Amino acid sequence: MAASVIDREQNKRTLKIKAHDDDVNTVAFADSSSQLLFSGSDDALCKVWGRRTLREDRPQPVGQLSGHRDGITFIPRKAMHVI
């Protein structure tokens, strides 16, 4: 399914990618630089996207976090700690 990035100041979609094979439930930026983006889905994957290299026509994540047993419904901003 698709994930979109919206510019809230201009109320305009700036990016739409096919991010997962199942419903996308959550999207979060890693920090205020907006260069790293996380997406979580019902496919139980958290994907990491790099804005500098991301293309709509050929989206490739820079990383993927697997091992979740259920779908991911929330990714807190600045969730940089290993638990």
The predicted structure's pLDDT at residue 83? 47
Is residue 69 within 8 Å of residue 44, measured between CB atoms?
yes
The predicted structure's pLDDT at residue 81? 53
Question: What is the rounded CA–CA span in Å between residue 4 and residue 26?
Answer: 10
Question: What is the rounded CA–CA span in Å between residue 48 and residue 61?
Answer: 6
Q: Which residues of the chain have pLDDT under 70?
A: 78-83
The predicted structure's pLDDT at residue 35? 86
Note the pTM of the prediction, 2 decimals: 0.80
Torsion of CA 55, 47, 73, 35, to 10 degrees: -60
